[in-house]
Amino acid sequence: MSADLILYNIGELFCPIDNNEPLRGQAMNTAKIMHNAYIAIKAGKIQAIGEGEVPESLISNETQKRDLSGLTVTPGLIDSHTHLVHGGSRENEFSMKLNGVSYLDILAAGGGILSTVNATKTSTFDELYTKAKKSLDTMLIHGTTTVEAKSGYGLEWETEEKQLKVAKKLNEDHPVEVVSTFMGAHAIPTQLKENPEEFIKELTEFMIPEVSKHSLAEFCDVFCEHGVFSVEQTRTILKCAKENNLKIKIHADEIVSLGGAELAAEMGAHSAEHLMAASDEGISLMAKNNVIANLLPGTTFSLMKTSYADARKMIENNLAVALSTDYNPGSCPTENIQLIMQLGSLAMKMSPIEVFNAVTINGAHSLGRGHETGSFEVGKNADIVVFDAPNIDYILYHFGVNHVKEVYKNGNLVVQ
């Protein structure tokens, strides 16, 4: 059967290897790289892929063709950790941070996440929608075709629900697919500062069952951190999430080595996020229990820290690594996944192949989307990025600019 669209003469085509599971350890540095390649698309799906001449059988009078000589093509990029929907911004904390006041001290003083909670509570649905849509547009022009969106700037039901409903509506309206995570356990609300157990009760007895009942999220995440949720409290919340059929993620060992990585392994989390301070024991337990390490070097950079998550050690210990922006108004105000990929190489010494696998096939698996996107298997969604670059190395080496020329989502040209 002939194709709807054929991209041909592709200078370099990056094809992640799809084994129906994330790529771990040394396998992260493997990929099929084709030259003078083609991709045929039918009904929004990958129909065929190969090198050299396009087979005649794929071409009819109706088939559209695009010559991509000299350009590089990869699967649509997956940003599998963001706090997409929120009110306001926090540049008012910038000079404090530049003067050395720490992220956790700002939070403990009632600023940080808690100040975004106020801004989100006072924003209407439409205001949140318009702001998040603008961010999604920015993500898309940088090559992101699937994104995760966490709630967590309400800390009470009405606002958490508003955030989740905004994400759901954006998923319906926008070309970028939005996967929702409930993160009510993002901070302790100011009024329950002295009584966090009351808030945990609210989360487990009401909010999590409500999220599940109305299918408002697929995942549940907790900020397991010194002065936020302890390992014990995180375990209680995530146990409840599992009982309510939500898949789990943990903001683990971001700032203090608390045992978040160990907990992610114990609970069979889908992924553990940040891991800048993860212990060796935590890393090896995560590898044994197939937990994906979702690393967020933009946060390390923006918090002006020098201790990036040890991606090399994690890969040597057979972990699967994903990379994401962590886009949020406090610790990483950027939507640009290419910058994060460049930090993956420049600051964490990941090879270009490892970086592209981290934001394609491994990103897809960290969102439970490995069967439909993240690589060029026949039948998968035709989510495709065309870079104005001769090869993948160039995209990471020539940093700080946007190399995207075109983006296709489900076979539709959505950026040109």
DSSP secondary structure string for all residues of 204-250: IIIIHHHHHHTT--SEEEEEE-TTSB-HHHHHHHHHHHHHTT-EEEE
Q: Which helix (H) or strand (E) holds 29?
A: none
233 is a site residue for ligand NIG (CB under 6 A): no
- Binding site partner of 116, from Fe ion, ligand NIG, none, Cβ cut-off 5-8 A by kind: ligand NIG
161: Cβ–Cβ under 8 A, 6 or more apart, which residues?
154, 210, 216
Determine the interface stretch with ligand NIG among 2-10, 47-55, 326-334, 390-398 (rule: CB under 6 A): 326-334
Phi, psi of 257 (to 5 degrees): -80, 100
Using CB under 6 A as the binding rule, whether residue 254 contacts ligand NIG is answered as yes
* Binding site partner of 254, from Fe ion, ligand NIG, none, Cβ cut-off 5-8 A by kind: ligand NIG
Q: Is 275 in the site for ligand NIG (CB under 6 A)?
A: no
Q: How far is the CB of 347 from ligand NIG (least distance, A)?
A: 16
Find all residues with CB under 8 Å of 325, minimum gap 6, and list them: 79, 81, 82, 139, 296, 298, 332, 334, 335, 336, 337, 340
Residue 112 is a binding residue for ligand NIG (CB under 6 A): yes
Cα distance between residue 87 and residue 27, in whole Å = 40
Q: How far is CA 262 from the centre of its chain?
A: 21
List for the chain the helix, strand, coil content (%; round to 5): 40, 25, 40
Establish if 113 lies at the interface with ligand NIG (CB under 6 A): yes
Strand order in the sheet with 321-323: 77-79, 144-150, 177-185, 219-224, 247-252, 271-274, 292-295, 321-323
- Say whether 90 counts as a known binding-site residue: yes
Rounded CA separation 124/128 (Å): 6
Give the one residue of 47, 116, 120, 145 binding ligand NIG; rule: CB under 6 A: 116
CA 273, chain centre distance (Å): 10
> Does 186 count as an annotated binding residue?
yes
> Token digits for 20?
């129906």
Q: Write the binding mask 278 to 317 for ligand NIG: x where contact by CB under 6 A, - elsewhere.
A: ---------------------x------------------
Told to check if 123 binds ligand NIG by CB under 6 A, we report no
- DSSP-based three-state secondary structure for 365: helix
* Residue 86 beta carbon to ligand NIG: minimum distance, rounded to whole angstroms: 7
Task: Please say which residue, 273 or 406, places its beta carbon nearer to ligand NIG.
Answer: 273
Question: Does the CA dihedral 340-368-27-266 come out positive or negative?
Answer: positive
Q: Is position 142 annotated in a ligand binding site?
A: no
408 binds, among Fe ion, ligand NIG, none (CB under 5 to 8 A by kind): none
SS3 133: helix
3-state secondary structure of 168: helix
| CB-nearer residue toward ligand NIG: 328 or 375 | 328
Looking only at residues 377 through 396 of this chain, which bind Fe ion when binding is defined by CB under 5 A? none
Interacting residue with ligand NIG among 16, 330, 363, 370 (CB under 6 A): 330
329 touching ligand NIG, by CB under 6 A: yes
Give the Å distances, CA to CA, from 155 to 123, 189, 202, 229, 252.
Answer: 15, 6, 10, 13, 19
Question: CB 29 → ligand NIG: shortest distance, Å?
Answer: 27
Q: Which of residues 200-229 bind ligand NIG (CB under 6 A)?
A: 223
Q: What is the smallest separation between the CB atom of 77 and ligand NIG, expressed in angstroms?
A: 19
326: contact with ligand NIG by CB under 6 A: yes
Q: What sign results for the dihedral spanned by CA atoms 71, 76, 77, 83?
A: positive
Nearer to ligand NIG, 70 or 110 (CB): 110
Instruction: Name the binder of 298 from ligand NIG, Fe ion, none, CB < 5-8 A by kind.
Output: none
Non-local (6+) Cβ contacts of 327 within 8 A are 79, 82, 83, 84, 135, 139, 333, 334, 335
CA 50 to chain centre: 29
Asked if 79 interacts with Fe ion (CB under 5 A), we say no
Binding mask 307-346 for Fe ion (x = CB under 5 A): -------------------x--------------------
Residue 308 C-beta: closest distance to Fe ion, Å: 16
Interacting positions 291-310 with Fe ion (CB under 5 A):
none
- Feature table: binding site: 81, 83, 90, 153, 186, 251, 254, 326, 328, 330-331
Which amino acids are annotated as binding site for 4-imidazolone-5-propanoate, given as ranges? 90, 153, 186, 254, 331
Residues near Fe ion, by CB under 5 A: 326
Q: Which residues contact ligand NIG by CB under 6 A? A: 83, 112-113, 116, 223, 251, 254, 299, 326, 328-331
